Amino acid sequence: MVWLEQALMSMQQVPAHRRVVIGVDTHKYVHVAVAIDDLGTLLGNRSFAADSGGYIQLIDWALGFGGKVTFGIEGTGSYGAGLASAVRRRDIGAIEVVRTDRRDRRLRGKSDTIDAENAARAVLAGQATAIPKSADGARDDPPGQGGQGHRGQGPHRGDDQPQAGHRELSAGTA
């Protein structure tokens, strides 16, 4: 528990009415997280083990910033699936973030911390809005939405969903 106390003491807290976005770059063994507030101010960054204990530590770290926390997670269908599930179980908002394109990553540099920050900024800017699928493949309603529909089925599609019109073109009909 000492690590948690030290981490909380060194973190900036934001007022309860402010939003905190946690961007996460996921990998097989380690997840890298960056926290920003609703003004885009960098609040902190840290690495966590990609296992159930690491998920708990990451979520506790995120909640330590105060405010209304939302996660932007890359790779929710693969290495980020466990974290997305853990975040959902704690009734915290999670958004699926598509990795930035390679050209942009080459221009700005490539690091896990930069990728995590880009994920957070994509959520903050409204560029990422898809809700991650649950283990059964269905999209969960966001916390507090009370069954008002499944966000993420609108204009922002996952990479596994074909584009509208693609089926018609490949079937030979236009």
pLDDT in tens, 89-101: 999 999 999 876 5
Residue 153's closest CA among 133, 172, 124? Answer: 133
Q: What's the mean pLDDT in 149-165? A: 37
Contact 43, 20 (CB under 8 A): yes
Q: Name the average pLDDT for the chain.
A: 74
Residue 54 to residue 28: CA distance in whole angstroms? 12
Start-to-end CA span in the chain (Å): 61
Can you give the pLDDT at residue 52?
Answer: 96
Question: Residue 44 contacts by C-beta under 8 Å, 6 or more apart in sequence?
Answer: 10, 11, 12, 34, 35, 61, 65
Cα 111 → chain centroid: 17
Domain boundaries, position 129: 2-170
Can you give the pLDDT at residue 168?
Answer: 35
Q: Give yes or no for residue 130 having a pLDDT over 50.
A: yes
Q: Give yes or no for residue 113 having a pLDDT over 50.
A: yes
Query: Binning pLDDT at 50, 70 and 90, where does residue 13 land?
Result: confident
Q: Give yes or no for residue 72 having a pLDDT over 60.
A: yes
Question: Is the pTM for the entire model greater than 0.75?
Answer: no
Q: What amino acid occupies position 16?
A: A
Can you give the pLDDT at residue 24?
Answer: 97
| Residues forming a β-bridge with 22 | 35, 71
Q: What is the CATH number of the domain that holds 50?
A: 3.30.420.140
* Structural domains in the chain (count): 1
Q: What percent of the chain has pLDDT over 90?
A: 49
How far is it between the farthest Cα atoms of the chain?
A: 64
Q: What's the mean pLDDT in 108-118? A: 85
